[in-house]
Structure 1
Amino acid sequence: MAPPKDRRSSFSKRAQLGLFTSYVAAFFGAALGFVLLMISLFHPATFAFARSAATDVAAPAGQVGATVRTGGKSVIDVIAGYIAAGSKNAQLRKELAIARSRLAEAEAIKSENQRLKQLLNVRETDGRPVTAARLIGSTASSTRRFALLSAGARDGVQVGMPVRSSTGLVGRVLEVGQRTARILLITDGESVVPVRRVNGDIAGFAQGQSNGTLVIRLIDLGINPLKKGDVFVTSGSGGLYRPNVPVAIVANVTRDGAVARIVSDPAASEFVVVEPIWQPLTELRDPAKPAAE
């Protein structure tokens, strides 16, 4: 005989009991939830102990999360600090090079003043710069060392004028156009600059070697008094270059002089200053003439 189509749970006492139990549990659960909700609304402090206990249980996990966040932030800060330190170090190195140049120039001026105190009636041409311009090109694959300046005759630039950067002497003007000028760098083999050592007033000439260095040849031959690290500045002898402009630092001492590296690298000098040709004028007054003349 086929089973009836309408099979109800009442035919199974176990199923009926289970259904009744689930209804009762749901009712009491809803009632308990309602009661707890009312208590939390009208007496929030009643469950403070439960919240505190839950917070205490979750505290280790929170500490782990905070540690992870702090560690990640620290790593980011370290990376950012490293990148910032790199740029600051580059800036500090540049400022240090300028400071060393200024110190050498100050020492040279001090020595110069001691000698000038013994002289009278000494006049110099105006030392104000003619113009400031940008170095826009240079020879890269030639034995000659030239640079191109973004200023010319219309800016007052003339042949023979010295060119210097913030750290030292760069060269002199060789050719002049209306808007540009060609500079003979001091590292060129045809460049000869009268120089003297900052300490001791040892005179000589600095000649370029076309490889980025200079050869220092002393005027007084004898025992070579130079040593590594000596700073040479322009002496002003013969005019053209005004005195006390940093030129080179001795790298290696030779039998009759030294090999020196330049203070102002044209490749690292974006802007330069064109100065007038320096011409010292000394008036020798005739003692027989009155001072009023």
Structure 2
Amino acid sequence: MKTLFVRGPSLLSRLVLALACSFLLMFIDHKLQAMQPVRLFLNSLVTPVQYLAILPEQMLTSFSDSFKSQDQLASENERLRRQLLEQQGQLQQLSFLTNENKRLRELLGSEQRAPNRRMVAEVIAVASEPFSQQLVINKGALNGVYEGQAVLDSRGIVGQVQDVGSNTARVLLISDQSHAIPLRSERKDIRALAQGTGEIGRLQLMFVPHSTELAVGDLLMSSGLGNVFPEGYPVAKITGIERDESLPFAKVQADPISQLDRVRNVLLLWQSDDPQQPIYEGEPDA
């Protein structure tokens, strides 16, 4: 006797098959980057939604700015004028130091460092959770952005690009638990490795011996190791050191220089040997 409804595979069989397919896809993606076009398409697909989500905030900001009084505008203009004069003075000193450094490198026979190319991007979305601290910016593959690219703000290093869409990119913050960055102290030139703690304003230095000469208040700079972040950019400042002899290493905490919970604009960096170079608006894609 034939039944009206044919019974398919059991739920357990379906679960095993789904898990096997999932592991197979993860393995293929890890080895061959086969899912990269799919991620690029999905990131591009949600871009309009992200722009629509920030549209009310942008309209409200524009509406409030239009009602600024003349006194406020004059005060802001004077503040910007003073800031411009200060930066012009710093630029003159920087030019002198650059020329002096160039002469010293020529005397030592060292290779000259090529200047980094930069592009400003705007933060359009924020994902700050215990297990994922990320930003979404309004620049993507069409602008030459690539995975692993260094991202800064006006204070120091913010993070690095994790995923790239056509018009947007997702930035992994340095405070994320999965992120680590090699550093060196400005005062003693001691190398260290900083890892995110999951807290937006806290980093932890890993494998620091009890005999370290690091001190509270030391400024930590990017060391340039790993070929991800350029050397010499501010990253964090040490805020606490706990030397417990019962533990194999000292506990060293540091706070990021950048205010990661208030980032509005970021700076993307391209080094001379990067796989891609910036594509500015109006510039033909070479």
Q: Given the two structures, how large is their TM-score scaled by the length of structure 1?
A: 0.53
How far, CA to CA, are the matches of 2:184 and 2:272 in structure 1?
A: 16
Report the 3-state secondary structure (helix = DSSP H, G, I; strand = E; otherwise coil) of the residue aligned with 2:139.
Answer: coil
Cα RMSD for the two superposed structures:
3.3
Shift of 1:141: 3.5
- Specify the alignment match of 1:192 in structure 2: 180
- Specify the alignment match of 2:42 in structure 1: none
Distance change (3 Å), C-alpha of 1:227 and 1:127: same
Q: Which amino acid aligns with 1:226?
A: L
Q: Which amino acid aligns with 2:257?
A: V
How far, CA to CA, are the matches of 1:119 and 1:239 in structure 2?
A: 23
- Specify the alignment match of 2:268 in structure 1: 274
How far, CA to CA, are the matches of 1:195 and 1:271 in structure 2?
A: 24
- Specify the alignment match of 1:231 in structure 2: 219
Shift of 1:204: 0.4
User: Runs of 5+ in structure 2 lacking a partner?
Assistant: 1-70, 244-249, 275-286
Distance change (3 Å), C-alpha of 1:245 and 1:218: farther
Number of matched pairs: 178
Report the 3-state secondary structure (helix = DSSP H, G, I; strand = E; otherwise coil) of the residue aligned with 1:207.
Answer: strand
- Specify the alignment match of 2:280 in structure 1: none
Shift of 1:270: 1.1
Report the 3-state secondary structure (helix = DSSP H, G, I; strand = E; otherwise coil) of the residue aligned with 1:139.
Answer: strand
- Specify the alignment match of 1:216 in structure 2: 205
Report the 3-state secondary structure (helix = DSSP H, G, I; strand = E; otherwise coil) of the residue aligned with 1:145.
Answer: strand
Distance change (3 Å), C-alpha of 1:208 and 1:229: same
- Specify the alignment match of 2:194 in structure 1: 206
- Aligned residues with identical type, % of pairs: 28
Shift of 1:162: 0.2
State whether residues 133 and 151 of structure 1, in contact with CA within 8 Å, keep that contact through their aligned partners in structure 2: yes
Distance change (3 Å), C-alpha of 1:216 and 1:119: farther
- Specify the alignment match of 1:49 in structure 2: none
How far, CA to CA, are the matches of 2:193 and 2:272 in structure 1?
A: 17
How far, CA to CA, are the matches of 1:278 and 1:238 in structure 2?
A: 16
- Whether 2:248 is the aligned partner of 1:260: answer no
Please say which of residues 137-146 and 172-181 is displaced more in the overlay: 137-146
Shift of 1:123: 4.3
- Specify the alignment match of 1:153 in structure 2: 141
State whether residues 246 and 263 of structure 1, in contact with CA within 8 Å, keep that contact through their aligned partners in structure 2: yes
Report the 3-state secondary structure (helix = DSSP H, G, I; strand = E; otherwise coil) of the residue aligned with 1:267.
Answer: helix
Distance change (3 Å), C-alpha of 1:121 and 1:270: same
- Specify the alignment match of 2:246 in structure 1: none
Report the 3-state secondary structure (helix = DSSP H, G, I; strand = E; otherwise coil) of the residue aligned with 1:229.
Answer: coil
- Whether 2:167 is the aligned partner of 1:179: answer yes
